[in-house]
Structure formats: structure tokens, C-alpha cells
Amino acid sequence: MRAFRTSVLAAATAALAALSLTACQNGTGVQDEGASQPAATVAATAEPKGDTEGAKDTTDGGTTEAGSGSAGNASQAKDSGTNTKTNAGSSNAKSGSGSSSSSGANANTDTDAPANRAICNGSNTTVSVQEVSRPLNHMLITVTNTGSKPCDLPYYPYVRFDQTQWAPQVAESTKPQAVVTLAPGESGYAGVMLASADGSGENGETAKKVTIGFQGLNPGSSGGTSTTVNLPGGGVYFDSTLRVTYWQQSMEDALY
């Protein structure tokens, strides 16, 4: 029995020696396929973990980079928004300034604006009167705008000879379609029938002066300062048929 154990031990020793010699000749050391299998398994198991970590690192890197990019984009967007707002504000301010300037320019040049118009009266006009040969017994009143703004001549003139307390009748047929407006330097006209040609008038007298009054925009209202003018030729004769026209744009329309 002891001899058998000795033989088995000797055989095992010889096998181990042969295995070691084979391993040294192959350059693989003592590692055999059985021992290398767990290492390969561990390596295979570790490789996905390494990929996962790499992916995580990459993802983390990508996240950080994307975060930096987002922050940069946000910063750029913020800057862009600021610039846009600033530019819009500048544009609006410029536009508003241009609009205000344009509105101011229009207000200054628009002759229909109330601030650029006036009522014609003795302070911004000159008044002259003259007798005419035709029609018979007529006098022409001429008003010239001496102001810097257009002025309006509403309705008809108030005419009073000397200290006469009664006013002449108005020739309603001469009412114009629109109020007469005089540009600076332009003239408007009104005609006065002094006496009837057939002699039917009463209470005739000769006047030395005539006062011309102006109406405002409301009928019968005062338009401002009146003007008194010396009558030509030592005076004019008038009677109860005295009649005045509305203000006219032309001399021909005034001498009806």
C-alpha cells in the first residue's frame, strides 16, 4: 500500500514537471486555458463597464460642453436681445423724433391749421374805398391782407357813414359759396349801392367818412378792429336804399 502511494506521488510530480516545461516552451507561463477563462470573463465583464464609464465621461463632457454652449448661446441671446431692444429703442426714438419733427413741420406749413389763420380786420389789412362809374351810384371797398398769415373775410362788412346809426341792407343774392380767404398781399372786395338810380330812395345825405367793420366766424359777431376811411371827392351821397354785398374774391362779383 505504501509502495502504491509512492508510485502515485511520483507520477503526479512527473506530470507537474511536464506541464511546467510545456508552459515555459510556449511562453505563456503557468496559465492554462482553465485558469485564463475567468480572467477573460472578468475582462469581458469589465469592458462594458469601461465603455459605460467612457460613455458617461463623454456624456458628462458633452453635457458640460452643451451646458457651456447653452450658457454661451443664452449670453449671446441676452446680448442680442439687449442690442435688439436698444436698437429698437433708438429706432423708435428716431422715428418718434422724425414723426414729431414731421408733425411740427406740417403744423407750421398747413394753412388750414387754426394757428396759421386769422380773421381779417383793421389790424392786419388796409382798406380803401372808391366810387365807380358803373354800375351807377356804386362804391367799391377793397381790403388787402398786410399780415403774415392767411385771413378770412366772413359774411359782409359793417358799413357806417359818418355818425349814421342805421345799417345798410344786405344783398343776399351775393352770398358766396365759401368764406373769402386772403393770402398775404391778396385783396378781397365788397360793393355798396349808395342810392337807387330811379331816385326812389329817401333821407339822402352826403358823408365825409365811412367806417368799415369786420365780422367774426359767428354771424353778427365782431372780427376785431374796424377801419375808418375818408371818402373821396369831398364825400359821397347815399339814401335809404343803401345796400352792401357779401365779401367777394373778385372785383367783378362785388359790383353786381
Q: Please report the domains of the chain, with CATH numbers, ordered by start residue.
A: 117-254 (2.60.40)
CA distance 194 to 133: 12
pLDDT band at 108 (very low <50, low <70, confident <90, very high): low
DSSP secondary structure letter of residue 167: P
Q: Is 142 helix (H, G, I), strand (E, B) or coil?
A: strand
- Specify the residue for cell string 403744423: 107
Give the model's pLDDT for residue 53. Answer: 43
| Better-predicted residue by pLDDT, 60 or 140 | 140
Q: Model's pTM, two decimal places? A: 0.58
Give the model's pLDDT for residue 104. Answer: 52
CA distance 214 to 231: 19
Residues in contact with 201: Cβ distance below 8 Å, sequence separation at least 6, in sequence order:
195, 239, 240, 241, 242
Average pLDDT in the 95-119 region?
Answer: 63
pLDDT band at 82 (very low <50, low <70, confident <90, very high): very low
Nearest to 233 by CA among 209, 251, 211, 201: 209
- Over residues 173-231, the pLDDT tens digits come to 999 999 999 999 999 999 999 998 888 888 889 999 999 999 999 999 999 999 999 99
Strands 209-213 and 243-244: unpaired
Is the pLDDT at 172 greater than 70, yes or no?
Answer: yes
* Amino acid sitting at position 37: Q
Is the pLDDT at 44 greater than 70, yes or no?
Answer: no
Q: Please count the helices (runs of H) and the strands (runs of E) in the chain.
A: 3, 13
Helix (H) or strand (E) holding 76: helix 33-109
CB 174 within 8 A of CB 249: no
Is the pLDDT at 91 greater than 50, yes or no?
Answer: no
Q: How far is CA 94 from CA 81, 88, 249, in A?
A: 19, 9, 45
| Better-predicted residue by pLDDT, 47 or 234 | 234
